[in-house]
Amino acid sequence: MPGHSPPQLPDFGRMSTLHALDVLAQSGWLLDQLAEGRFTSFFHPIVHASDTSRVFAHEALLRGVERDGSLVAPQPILSLAREAGLLNEVDSAACRSAIREAARHGPEMCVFINFSPAAIEDPAANLAGTVEAIEEAGLPRDRVVFEVVEADRFGNAPLLDEVLRGYRRAGFRVALDDLGAGWSTLNLVHRLRPDFIKLDRELIHGVHQDPVKGLIASHLLEIGRGMGIATIVEGIEVPEELAWVREHDADFVQGFLLGRPQPVARG
């Protein structure tokens, strides 16, 4: 802009400091949320592709709860948790909330619970705490699926293998989220052999009118079938996407066309 000189090196230092101060101030809010247990879960239905009136499971989605009862979306909570070094605590709180709220549905409900590998500092302690919470809630272990998010950004593959083996030995199933076109995600499918794979919503958006997306998505569905892995297609928003997915034999579907995330009905 006229009259303004470009930022100099010291300016970047000041900006970094201001950002750190902002994160520090906001982390106080997040610590209050954790201390007061002000988290809840909404549940997004996963339905059979062949008959969308049949609900297969629900995915638990984190929400923060302000003191006035208003809700906070998960993205800002998780972004702040990463920057403030509180991802492990928030991930644990989200898991406990999902278990608690899922139990209100009843033991027949199958629930997908997200977890980030980057949040796991002690796999044994993490698993023990999870098992304890599930046992206390009365949820059958075979009705709980742990959904790995952002696995392709996690650099410690042996640790992820260890964590998922532990969950499986304990009687849980696992899902790999956001499967897209990248080699890294395909390599993860080969390494981890999950029970479910979920195709990324960005890949599915407009898949019925994009030949390249269609080619990639159809191959991923074929890989799932060939490996005996159940496939879930996310982000279904229009009937044409649902028709395409059915034509290509996906097992389950999820998206706003089929239902929006909702809290557990009280009473």
In the chain (267 residues long), the average pLDDT of successive 10-residue segments reads: 45 49 70 94 97 97 95 92 88 92 85 86 82 93 91 74 89 90 74 93 96 95 96 98 98 98 78
Q: What is the CATH number of the domain that holds 221?
A: 3.20.20.450
Number of separate domains in the chain: 1
The answer to the question of residue 3 being in a domain is: no
DSSP state of 197: E
Cα separation, 80 vs 39, in Å, equals 15
pLDDT of residue 136: 94
pLDDT of residue 121: 74
Query: Which of 92-105 are b and which e, b meaning 16 or more Cβ less than 10 Å from the residue's Cβ?
Result: bbbbbbbbbbbbeb
pLDDT of residue 11: 46
Query: What type of residue is 248?
Result: H
Sign of the alpha-carbon torsion through 34, 40, 44, 45: positive
Say if strands 111-115 and 71-72 run parallel, antiparallel, or are unpaired: unpaired
The answer to the question of residue 4 being in a domain is: no
Cα separation, 52 vs 246, in Å, equals 11
The answer to the question of residue 62 being in a domain is: yes
In this structure, are residues 150 and 178 in contact, taking their beta carbons and an 8 Å threshold?
yes
Write down how long the chain is.
267
Beta strands (DSSP E) in the chain are 39-48, 55-65, 71-72, 111-115, 144-148, 173-179, 196-199, 230-233, 252-253
The answer to the question of residue 169 being in a domain is: yes
Compute the radius of gyration of the chain from its Cα atoms: 20
pLDDT of residue 149: 85
The answer to the question of residue 262 being in a domain is: no
In this structure, are residues 72 and 63 in contact, taking their beta carbons and an 8 Å threshold?
yes
Placement of tokens 């964590």 in the chain:
163
pLDDT of residue 17: 61
Range of the domain at 60: 9-253
Cα separation, 68 vs 215, in Å, equals 48
Cα separation, 100 vs 60, in Å, equals 11
The answer to the question of residue 267 being in a domain is: no
pLDDT of residue 103: 92
The answer to the question of residue 111 being in a domain is: yes
pLDDT of residue 156: 76
In this structure, are residues 118 and 92 in contact, taking their beta carbons and an 8 Å threshold?
no
Coil vs helix vs strand at 182: coil
The answer to the question of residue 203 being in a domain is: yes
**Which residues lie closer than 8 Å to 225 by C-beta, 6 or more apart?**
231, 249
